[in-house]
Amino acid sequence: MFFWDPTMVILIPAVILSLYAQMKINSTYHQYSQVGSRKGMTGADVARYILNKNGLYDVPIERVQGHLSDHYDPRSRVVRLSAGVHDSTSIAALGVAAHEVGHAVQHDSGYMPLYIRNTIIPITQIGSYISIPLLLLGFLMGSPSLVELGILLFAGIVFFQLVTLPVEFNASRRAVAVLGGDAILTQDELNGTKKVLQAAALTYVAAALMAVLQLVRLLLISGVLGGRDD
């Protein structure tokens, strides 16, 4: 059966890394969300400062609900910060805010990996909905063409996860550079912020590994790899 195929063991490393990454970001963010910055700037203050520094005066900052729901919306050109980041003066919040603004700066400067990621979003959205159903239907109907189409769509999801890595790493580097370079955080504060951003980056690495290993598993099940015929 598809869901209980022995190839499920391939996913074990990704499952372990995903669980570790989730625990790591939760514990690290919680730890440094208790450490206030000496300058007393809030996440919203830092976001506005970096946006203005890069001439992005027209990019608004919105306060949204949710825990770590922070993101940059390239379609609306809006930086959205969760209440725990928007209003907080912690070094964790400042790192998250600066990271999200890093995406706005990437967008404005035409950073190629971000452009590629944004371009393929419609394809990956379609793939996330129908790739697995197509695979299941293909297996049930004995239709190699449907299976191959499902795998192709899932491969688009894998590519999205992989191109996300340089986008996220670069945004964090930009965040650290401005927080340290403009003396918004002291060196010891910056070390804590780096740990938060590194923990967040690990979640993206885990997601990418899971996607890659799932694709390998699907290729094995379909017989594209390993010459499996059943």
Q: How confident is the model at residue 229 (pLDDT cuts 50, 70, 90)?
A: very low
Q: Which structural domain range is residue 95 located in?
A: 6-222
Q: How many domains does the chain have?
A: 1
- The first and second tokens of residue 200, run together, are 């967040």
On whether the CB atoms of residues 68 and 86 are closer than 8 A, the answer is no
Condensed to tens digits (0 to 9), the pLDDT of residues 134-176 reads 888 888 888 888 888 989 999 999 999 999 999 999 999 999 9
- The first and second tokens of residue 155, run together, are 């491969």
228 inside domain: no
154 inside domain: yes
109 inside domain: yes
Q: Which of 100, 148, 168, 189 is catalytic?
A: 100
Residue 148 annotated in active site:
no
- Average of per-residue pLDDT across 19-36: 96
Condensed to tens digits (0 to 9), the pLDDT of residues 180-227 reads 999 999 999 999 999 999 999 999 999 999 999 999 998 888 776 665
- The first and second tokens of residue 19, run together, are 């669980």
44 inside domain: yes
227 inside domain: no
Q: What is the pLDDT of residue 136?
A: 85
Model confidence at 39: pLDDT above 90: yes
Q: What is the pLDDT of residue 230?
A: 43
